[in-house]
Amino acid sequence: MTTKTHNTRTSTGRQLGLLLALAAAGSAIAFAAGCRGDRSDAPPRQFFPDMDDQPKLDPQSETAFFEDGRSQRLPVERTVAFGSRSELPGTVASDAWDGMITADRESLLKADETFAFGIVEGSTREEPVYVDYMPVPVTSDLIKRGEERFNIFCSACHGYDGEGGSSGTVGALWSYAPSNLLAEQYRDRGNQFGKDGYLYHVIRDGLWGPDGSNRMPAYGYSIDERDAWAIVAYIRTLQAASDVAFDELDPADQARLEGGTP
């Protein structure tokens, strides 16, 4: 009995010693494996460690550097942040850059109301008169861009061919039936719904029922002005294409369609 107890004690002591030794070895290994800032061949690789690890102030943090203790500066009094670039038009050497800066500011100012809102100059957004024709030249590049954007943003509800109803996977389950964009009222510029400006407005601002319920989401947040006009150009293309019967198509196009290319 006594021997047994003695033995147990000894082995507990040994286990403890072993554990301590292991813990010490473990931390030695962890220490040897490297600290932040040490050179190593292991990933993640830093190609410019001096840039990655430069001293910097994190946003919304405290610092003793500025008197008010904030890492971020407040805008100069009586000024408003303007544009995503800090340069002023006409102050950079490259024409391409200057064009981008100017376009950026014009789009923020929305000075061109026809381009920005699809309305006739002089009418207001509260009482809009939509333009019959888009203010952007229609090129095959614009239509291609519109096709791509339409397939991403609209086809889920209105179907790839624009027929609406239950032709889109989401549209089939949506609380309101998506409109058929090939219908006469969306082609005839003699009525409100058929004007380029109106189609543009629906894309950017969505559709709301009289009770304020949202019937179609607004896509202005992710489809910019140019892309919205591109989609309008593509809707016109879908409308024109739907007028041509399969038999009237070029044999090459018939083969492409039968091959399953949308």
Minimum distance, C-beta of residue 245 to ligand HEC, in the bound complex (Å): 25
- How far is residue 143's CA from residue 202's CA, in Å, rounded to a whole number? 18
| CB closer to ligand HEC, 101 vs 150 | 150
Type of residue at 259:
G
By CB under 6 A, tell whether 215 contacts ligand HEC.
Answer: yes
CA 22 to chain CA centroid, nearest Å? 52
Q: Which of 116, 131, 142, 216 binds ligand HEC (CB under 6 A)?
A: 216
Q: Which of 198, 168, 171, 176 is nearest to 186 (CA)?
A: 198
Q: Mask 94-113, x = binds ligand HEC (CB under 6 A)? A: --------------------
Sole window of 39-47, 140-148, 211-219, 251-259 interacting with ligand HEC (rule: CB under 6 A): 211-219
By CB under 6 A, tell whether 131 contacts ligand HEC.
Answer: no
The total of other beta-carbon atoms located within 10 Å of residue 228's CB is 26
Q: By CB neighbour count within 10 A (0-12 exposed, 13-18 middle, 19+ buried), where does 70 fall?
A: middle
Q: Which of 101, 116, 136, 157 binds ligand HEC (CB under 6 A)?
A: 157
By CB under 6 A, tell whether 151 contacts ligand HEC.
Answer: no
Sole window of 49-57, 80-88, 174-182, 237-245 interacting with ligand HEC (rule: CB under 6 A): 174-182
Q: Which of 240, 229, 214, 84 is nearest to 161 (CA)?
A: 240
Token duo for residue 75: 């805008």
Number of residues binding to ligand HEC, judged by CB under 6 A? 23
By CB under 6 A, tell whether 229 contacts ligand HEC.
Answer: no
With the C-alpha atoms ordered 122, 126, 129, 131, is the resulting torsion angle positive or negative? Answer: positive
By CB under 6 A, tell whether 230 contacts ligand HEC.
Answer: no
Q: Cβ contacts of residue 110 below 8 Å, gap of 6+?
A: 116, 117
Q: Which of 92, 207, 218, 249 binds ligand HEC (CB under 6 A)?
A: 207
By CB under 6 A, tell whether 181 contacts ligand HEC.
Answer: yes
Q: Kindly give the pairing relationship between strand 214-216 and strand 207-208.
A: antiparallel
Minimum distance, C-beta of residue 37 to ligand HEC, in the bound complex (Å): 49
- How far is residue 258's CA from residue 75's CA, in Å, rounded to a whole number? 61
Quick check: helix, strand or coil at residue 260? coil
Type of residue at 42:
A
| CB closer to ligand HEC, 117 vs 219 | 219
Quick check: helix, strand or coil at residue 40? coil
By CB under 6 A, tell whether 184 contacts ligand HEC.
Answer: no
By CB under 6 A, tell whether 178 contacts ligand HEC.
Answer: yes
Q: Which of 143, 193, 205, 242 binds ligand HEC (CB under 6 A)?
A: 193
Q: Which residues bind ligand HEC (CB under 6 A)?
A: 153-154, 156-158, 170-171, 174, 176, 178-179, 181, 186, 193, 199, 202-203, 207, 215-217, 219, 231
